[in-house]
Amino acid sequence: MSDSFDDLRDLYQEVILDHGRRPRHARRLESFDATAKGDNPMCGDRIEVWVKLGTDGTIADTGFQARGCAISVASADLMAETVIGRSKADTHALFEAFREMARTGQCPHCDGALADPLERLEPLAGVHEYPSRVKCATLAWHALIAALEGGKEASSE
């Protein structure tokens, strides 16, 4: 049983441990244009996301409050980091590409226009080996997309 946690470093990379421990965007926005809650009833993870839009319709700021595991908090934080300044359409595209990465570990769009933010999210790709944990990584995104679409609740079920 020497160092069998070592192979877990592909799931719990330093970036994830760091953002899970000290999220930079974990705050409620004072003024916002959209908000939604996300709920994963399977494991009890909860998140609330707030979005402030700029005059051009891009995401000017976003913040969240989450109760959940290191993966879900880190994912929410990296999401916030990568969507600020982006249009809704780009955010949608990023979500789709990220979701595929989390589910399959593959990233066919990683060479495209979204290469930079996807590279930032890449440390989360390790969850694809843990099917029950994929939802932890995508919950924040589901909530963000629900907020942008004017919904109130999202579930990663």
Partner 1 sequence: MNVEAKISLGRPAVLDVARIREDFPILRQKIRGKPLVFLDSAASAQKPRAVIEAMREAMETQYANVHRGLHWMSERTTDAYEAAREAVAALINANDAHEVVFTRNITESLNLMAHSYGRGILKPGQAVLISGMEHHSNIVPWQLLRDERGIELRVVPVTDSGELDMDAFETLIADGKVGLVSMTHMSNVLGTYTPVERIVRMAHAHGAKVLFDGAQAVVHRRVDVQALGCDFYAFTGHKLYGPTGIGVLWGRRELLDAMPPFLGGGEMISSVAFERSTWADVPHKFEAGTPPILEGIGLKAAIDYVQQIGYDAIAAHETALVDHALARLGTIEGVHILGRAQDRGGVVSFALDRAHAHDVATLLDRQGIAVRAGNHCAEPLMHRFGLDSTTRASFAIYTSHDEIDFLADSLARVREFFK
Contacts with partner 1, residue ranges (CB under 8 A) = 1, 4-5, 7-8, 11-12, 17, 21, 42-46, 67-71, 130, 133, 136
Q: Which of 11, 5, 8 is nearest to 123 (CA)?
A: 11
Which C-beta is closer to partner 1: that of 49 or that of 74? 74
Q: 47 or 59, CB closer to partner 1?
A: 47
Q: Beta partners for 64?
A: 49
The answer to whether 80 and 59 have CB atoms below 8 angstroms apart is no
Long-range contacts of 96-102 (CB under 8 A, 24+ apart): 98/124, 98/138, 98/141, 99/138, 99/141, 101/125, 101/128, 102/127, 102/128, 102/134, 102/137, 102/138
**Shortest Cβ distance from residue 122 to partner 1 (Å)?**
19
Whole-angstrom Cα distance, residue 103 to residue 130? 9
Are 140 and 146 in contact, with CB atoms under 8 Å apart? Answer: no
- Min. distance of Cβ 8 from partner 1 in angstroms? 5
Q: Vertex 94, ends 59 and 157: CA angle to 5°? A: 100
Q: In the bound complex, what is the minimum distance in angstroms from residue 112's beta carbon to partner 1? A: 31
Nearest approach, Cβ of residue 44 and partner 1 (Å): 5
* Between 114 and 141, CB nearer to partner 1: 141
Kindly tell me which of 46 and 99 has the beta carbon lying closer to partner 1: 46
- Give whichever of 43 and 110 is closer to partner 1, judged by the CB atom: 43
Minimum CB distance to partner 1, residue 82 (Å): 22
Secondary structure element (H or E) that encloses residue 20, with its range? helix 14-21
